[in-house]
Amino acid sequence: MAYGFGPDGKTFLAFASVSVITYIVWRTVYYVYFHPLREFPGPFLAKFSRFPLIRSHFQGKTYKYVIDLHEQYGSIVRIAPDELATTELEAWKDIYQAKPQLPKDPLSFTPPLNGADTLFTAQGATHQRMRRTLANAFSDKALRQQNPIIQHYVDLFIERIERELQKSTTLDITKFYGFLSLDIIGDLSIGKSFHGLEGENEHSWLDDFWMGVTFGSLRTSLARFHPLELIFGFLFLRLTRKQRANNWKYVTDSITERLHKGSLDGERWDFLTPVIGNVNEGREEGITRSELDGNTLAMIIAGCEVSTVALSATTYFLLRNPSTVDRLAEEVRSSFQNEAEIDVGSTFELPYLNAIINEGLRMHHPTPSPLPRVVPSEGLKIAGQWIPGGAIIGICPQAIQTDKAHFNDPLSFNPERWLEESHKYFDERFRYDNREASKPFSVGPRNCIGSKLYLGEARVTFARLLFKYDIEMFDKSDSEWTDQKAFLIFKPTPLQVKLMPRGVQSQAVPQERGSINR
Ligand code: HEM
């Protein structure tokens, strides 16, 4: 018996092929010549296809793709058929502080696995309710009350560094920043450390989290090709089911344990202290238990991963530029008599320390890719330009922060650009920098809730390190460290540094100011 298409089958195939080709041609012509974003500059392929953007997602280089497009096409660029990116200063206000709020692009994040929204995924009234409930745990006052917990883990961090130095004078500082950030955020959010810093401990929590974040980021980029994202999600979730279930159980059991202890106000102050009376299933005020679980895990992941990247990147730039290490050491060592004096409050106003932290975040944003929002159907003026309704638009933090329209010598690490004129290291070259262009924590009602915590942790960590040690880069030729992949968050590679007790001379070789290679 012969198999094949009869006359009817052939006609159907021919008809189907012509229909598909006609649809593709019509769609291409529509997006290139008739779509409301047709006037915005951008590469030809991106006018009708998301392929270049998705390819950049899979390569972990979306920020580079967007930066290249800005360099080629200007401050506003069409990065995909329905999506724009901008590096205009006023866009911070017009997009992220718009009233009413512009929703996040719903296809730009992975839906919560337990079905309950988190701050990252919630929109509108649900987001506002959660944010109101959780905000008290992240205020200036809260940070002061959390100081003993932060202090405790920075002590453990220094003790661990001391133990490591008995084995070798060089160490991978990224690994220990990871343990530090996770132990702090663990204690603050579930009342328990992840015990990375103690003894000779090692664990794989950070790797597990990084894998989850990478999965979320890749799954999200497939979301416009339904059901591809579901297939991808299904495979990943099956492969990692056991490990995720164990991690989830650990976190939720710890929250239950912590909730049973009550607010503990007066004894210790963590993220749950102000939240405890507000956990209820009403959904009108406060937060439900499943929302609390999801938010806690999301914050642990966000808090430890981004902080690790930011601490490591800042250290990298600092050490690539010994003159900034000297200036920071001078400030820290002349401000304190002993290590116990160094805390989140006493470091708050150290100008050079703060300048180092700001410049580190400017040079290497931990989540460097665009923060997309949806323009309302009636359209909106953004940075003086009319953007049609339904368009997606966002600022790519790494692009705006390293844009020469805003910063002089933008790819070089110069903390001096953040100093006031009265400071002895103020540098005239940066007088006209648009510092407002660098908003690493974003702005508006969805800005980073954990910004104060990171800044406090970074101040104390750098001040303690510089108070106690002279630090150098181990591999002085490593000028490629920042060239890393970012699946939503940069995944830092090990950063080998050499630490010596303060005052012990080393063979330091002067180097140029560290810069980003593009
Ligand atoms: C260097 C450190 C950090 C940077 C640069 C950073 C950056 C950001 C940015 C840019 C956003 C806005 C995202 C968007 O609009 O889509 C954000 C949101 C957020 N961040 Fe951070 N973050 C940092 C540290 C932290 C820490 C330590 C925590 C946890 C305690 C945290 C928790 C969050 C949460 C929960 C949101 C969502 C806020 C909302 O939508 O209401 N972040 N972060």
Across-strand partners of 394? 85, 372
Q: How many CB atoms lie under 10 A from the CB of residue 167?
A: 9
Report the separation in Å between the CA atom of 298 and the middle of ligand 1, taken as the mean of its atom positions.
10
Task: Output the pLDDT for position 362.
Answer: 98
- Encoded tokens for 187: 């204690």
Name the residue at shortest CA distance from atom 18 of ligand 1.
Answer: 448
Across-strand partners of 386? 381
> CB–CB of 302/485 below 8 Å?
no
Atom of ligand 1 nearest to the CA of 104: 16
Task: Output the pLDDT for position 476.
Answer: 67
Task: Output the pLDDT for position 479.
Answer: 72
ipTM above 0.90, yes or no: yes
Residue positions in the annotated binding site for heme?
448
d(CA 334, CA 125) in angstroms, rounded, equals 49
Ligand 1 mutation pick, 62, 118, 448, 455, max ligand atoms within 8 A of CB: 448
d(CA 220, CA 130) in angstroms, rounded, equals 23
Residue by residue, pLDDT tens for the chain (518 residues) are 455 566 678 888 888 889 889 989 999 999 999 999 999 999 999 999 999 999 999 999 999 999 999 999 999 999 999 999 999 999 999 999 999 999 999 888 877 777 789 999 999 999 999 999 999 999 999 999 999 999 999 999 999 999 999 999 999 999 999 999 999 999 999 999 999 999 999 888 888 888 888 888 888 888 888 888 888 777 877 777 778 888 889 999 999 999 999 888 778 899 999 898 898 887 788 999 999 999 999 999 999 999 999 999 999 999 999 999 999 999 999 999 999 999 999 999 999 999 999 999 999 999 999 999 999 999 999 999 999 999 999 999 999 999 999 999 999 999 999 999 999 999 999 999 999 999 999 999 999 999 999 999 999 999 999 999 999 887 766 678 888 999 999 988 999 999 999 877 655 444 556 667 66
Report the separation in Å between the CA atom of 302 and the middle of ligand 1, taken as the mean of its atom positions.
7
Closest CA to 65 of 74, 76, 55: 55
Greatest CA span in the chain, whole angstroms? 95
Q: Is the CB of 303 under 6 A from ligand 1?
A: yes
> CB–CB of 451/442 below 8 Å?
no
d(CA 214, CA 216) in angstroms, rounded, equals 5
CA dist 121 → 6, 130, 294, 449 (Å): 52, 11, 10, 14
Atom of ligand 1 nearest to the CA of 454: 27
Is the four-CA dihedral 183, 186, 188, 193 of positive or negative sign? negative
Task: Output the pLDDT for position 280.
Answer: 87
Name the residue at shortest CA distance from atom 10 of ligand 1.
Answer: 441
Report the separation in Å between the CA atom of 297 and the middle of ligand 1, taken as the mean of its atom positions.
13
d(CA 186, CA 304) in angstroms, rounded, equals 9
The reported pTM is 0.93
Considering the domain 103-359+443-501 in this protein, what is its CATH number?
A: 1.10.630.10
Report the separation in Å between the CA atom of 454 and the middle of ligand 1, taken as the mean of its atom positions.
10
Q: Is the CB of 449 under 6 A from ligand 1?
A: yes
Atom of ligand 1 nearest to the CA of 108: 16
Q: Is the CB of 371 under 6 A from ligand 1?
A: yes
Q: Does residue 174 come out as left (phi exceeding 0), alpha (psi in the -120 to 50 range) or beta?
A: alpha
Task: Output the pLDDT for position 452.
Answer: 97
Report the separation in Å between the CA atom of 337 and the middle of ligand 1, taken as the mean of its atom positions.
34
Name the residue at shortest CA distance from atom 36 of ligand 1.
Answer: 448
Q: Is the CB of 440 under 6 A from ligand 1?
A: yes
